[in-house]
Homo-oligomer: A and B are copies of this chain.
């Protein structure tokens, strides 16, 4: 399903075909955890800002409104009216970051919901059942996201268990795909590499999960406490062990600079809550660096947020107006900020793709990696 169109250094320009359309990679997935984008963006807005893949969350949608309800409503695509590709995270990360009173066994994880406290059990089969009910195009494996630092022995045992869980995920999803009433019978499973920052555990885990010949592989458990250099080193290390003919997804990363560096190391898929979260705080990404729109100096600034941007916000509104909306605590402030930031990320990916196609990725990387993460 993955086709490599062009390689420039380790950076890859490719396509990945899903039941809901072909994705141009490298790609940034726009996060809609609960089946909606933060900042009051609708699926219609996503289409306008160049979103290719929407990302929702198994755990959140299971808790509310319930994956059985979404299945009854025809699946997540229909429920949220998004016709493009959807990737669903497995719930693993959220269980380990949000839920309380976790108990991990070989079977899976028992925990209390962060919404109403009720006891929930989720293992590989439950996660696949939920994701099959949602009918996403890409289902993520159910894994343990290990905190950094953790003892070597714990990480090794966890990686072994995550591998066994992956084998069960593969079998479970294949069974759901074979059912006559499958919402999305072409649903694909991505495996997730773990191992914190222990090089040998990362490599051996990647080698083992690669043998399962899944449609794609993710690097999980990064951006959770290690240094940026450790993250980059781990990506480089793991990438050598990842199948060349499958897409690679770096989960939950990151700043524009992180993404440029990730793509330079052969990553194809990215996602991060940062553009939406920073947007809601008035931190706006531009090609000259980060603008804090609440700053007094923008009060009478008639320019768009980013004069180089042609997103629906920059084509229409001034910095002065967006700043006013933030100061007046109008909800529209957040919507315009999130819409701009997601547009910026989607445009960044288009620029990355063009640079790889042109064989100019190194100069692109040198020009922008640091600039984009700088505050102006």
Interface of A toward B, CB cutoff 8 Å: 34-44, 60, 64-65, 69, 72-73, 79-81, 299-300, 302, 312, 316-318, 320-321, 323-325, 327-328, 330-336
Contact = CB atoms under 8 A, between A and B. Distances in A.
B331 A39 contact: yes
B65 A328 contact: yes
A65 B321 CA distance: 9
Given A39-B331, A42-B336, 4 more contacts: A42-B316, A69-B300, A81-B316, A331-B334
Contact of A317 (B41, B65, B81, B333): B81
A318 B80 CA distance: 9
Nearest to A68: B300
Closest 4 CB pairs of A and B: A40-B335, A40-B331, A40-B40, A36-B330
A6 to B, nearest CB: 37
Given A73-B320, A321-B80, A334 B40 contact: yes
A38 B331 contact: yes
A82 B34 CA distance: 32
Contacts of A80: 321
Contacts of A41: 332
A331 B332 contact: no
Contact of A69 (B60, B69, B299, B317): B299
B64 A328 contact: yes
14 contacts: A35-B321, A38-B330, A39-B331, A40-B332, A40-B335, A42-B317, A44-B316, A64-B327, A65-B320, A65-B324, A69-B299, A80-B321, A81-B321, A331-B335
Contact of A332 (B36, B65, B332, B336): B36
Nearest to A313: B42
B73 A318 contact: yes
Contact of A42 (B35, B81, B335): B335
A316 B43 CA distance: 10
A79 to B, nearest CB: 6
A37 B333 CA distance: 11
A2 B65 CA distance: 51
A324 B316 CA distance: 31
Contacts of A328: 34-36, 60, 64-65
